[in-house]
Amino acid sequence: MKREIQLSVPNLSLDIVENLRECIETGWVSTGGRFIGEFEKKLADYVGTESAVSTQSGTAGLHLALRELGTGHGDEVIVPALTFIAAVNPVTYLGAVPAFMDCDDTLCMDVDKLAHFLEKECEKNPQDQLINRTTGKIVKVIVAVHIFGNTCNMERIMELAQKYGLKVLEDATEALGTYINEGQYQGKFAGTIGDIGVYSFNANKIITTGGGGMVVAKNKASLEHIRYLGITAKNDSLFFVHDETGYNYRMLNTQAALGVSQIDRLEEFIKIKIQNYNLYKELLSGIPGITVLPFSQGIRANHWFYSLLIDKEAFGMDRNELMHLLISEGIQCRPVWKLCHTQKPYVNHVAYRIEKAYYFEKNILNVPCSTSLSEEEVKYVCDAIKKAKP
């Protein structure tokens, strides 16, 4: 019997209703109310930072972070080619331009190519700024995007940033709950290693507030300035005094009311994610042409998204053929994103030795991974894949 299994849906429980009831009864449904501060504290306590600042979205958080890191008109910001475009767009909000890097087998930024780019394609000017020799632009920031709950090689990235005088923005919008198990940053959560980290609570994330984001930073003054910019840079609430150009990027109290309950369930959700991921690996093992992509070694990944690598020659059909067949069986799945440097706004920007990303773009399929996904539903998906093999 045909079923409907969605890709990634929120796992909300009715205990959240009481929080929403309080918002309605007290009238605190907008950008003020007790749940905002409570959610910020819970997030900071979870990831081990002194404080956190909530925003209306992860994208808003990235925009504020890039501005705080000094990104300005004409600057160059290093970003991955393989990522959701929201990780790249905020660079252009500030008049800067992206320079795209390839990925490695974890789908995260290839640090070997990053190191080669910085060494061979860039140089320091008399003001000790790093300049891209080809474009003549000042390179300011590395945006390290932790894809699908993996982590970039943060040891190498931080070493390179220190060597070349760059700032590091961690886009941990897909990696809340992922932490490092070994090495220099053992025990550190994704998002807390670079200068600034950003999380997302979009509806498909591991916990959700419907929308919303959160920012953490090493420097307390920087974080407070981000808070200030996100509340329209308001100095005086009574007389509406604003000393800078700010943004209306505040999280709603109703969103935060969802978040304070959701974050208490985060470890429960990660446990479910890991169990279902391992079940996929078990059920799909031995099928020629189907590989469940592993997560990085040395980390406790949150296992946000599950990726299958489809080898057409071995499996008998390509990724798109399998995808459409599964969709016809009621199984929602999707390809990985179209590479950012091939998107119309970015085709004329630096794309440095992009190779592996093309392979993954063509052959990766994301399959259902909701935290409400049952064992029976995982088996249904795997049976459909097995039956699809010619």
- % pLDDT > 90, the chain: 93
| Last-in-domain residue among 265, 288, 314 | 265
Tell me what the mean pLDDT of segment 335-342 comes to. Answer: 98
What pLDDT, on a 0 to 100 scale, did the predictor assign at position 330? 97
| Last-in-domain residue among 240, 265, 290 | 265
Same-domain check for residues 205 and 313? no
322, amino acid identity? L
Weakest mean pLDDT among 5-19, 65-79, 84-98:
5-19
Same-domain check for residues 200 and 157? yes
Same-domain check for residues 185 and 137? yes
Same-domain check for residues 272 and 200? no
The interaxial angle of helices 375-388 and 319-328, nearest 10 deg, is 130
Same-domain check for residues 287 and 192? no
Which pLDDT tens digit goes with each residue over 223-236?
Answer: 999 999 999 999 98
pTM above 0.75, yes or no: yes
**CA angle, 106 then 84 then 153, to 5°:** 30
- Can you read off the two tokens belonging to residue 36? 């905002």
4 belongs to a structural domain: no
Total domains in the chain come to 2
Which pLDDT tens digit goes with each residue over 139-177?
Answer: 999 999 999 999 999 999 999 999 999 999 999 999 999
Band (pLDDT 50/70/90 cuts) for residue 30 is confident
Same-domain check for residues 39 and 163? yes
How many CB atoms neighbour CB 74 within 10 A? Answer: 12
Structural domain containing residue 162? 16-265
| Last-in-domain residue among 265, 286, 320 | 265
Q: Rounded CA gap, 75 and 1, in Å?
A: 56
238 belongs to a structural domain: yes
Q: Rounded CA gap, 165 and 254, in Å?
A: 41
Tell me what the mean pLDDT of segment 99-127 comes to. Answer: 98
Tell me what the mean pLDDT of segment 87-108 comes to. Answer: 98
CATH of residue 167: 3.40.640.10
Same-domain check for residues 213 and 76? yes
8 belongs to a structural domain: no
Same-domain check for residues 162 and 56? yes
pLDDT of 291 higher than 90: yes
258 belongs to a structural domain: yes
Share the mean pLDDT of the chain: 96
What pLDDT, on a 0 to 100 scale, did the predictor assign at position 1? 60
5 belongs to a structural domain: no
Same-domain check for residues 216 and 257? yes
CATH of residue 317: 3.90.1150.10
User: 């000017």: which residue's tokens?
Assistant: 125
2 belongs to a structural domain: no
Weakest mean pLDDT among 24-33, 42-51, 123-132, 176-185:
24-33
236 belongs to a structural domain: yes
Q: Rounded CA gap, 159 and 144, in Å?
A: 13
What pLDDT, on a 0 to 100 scale, did the predictor assign at position 371? 96
Same-domain check for residues 37 and 94? yes
pLDDT of 2 higher than 80: no
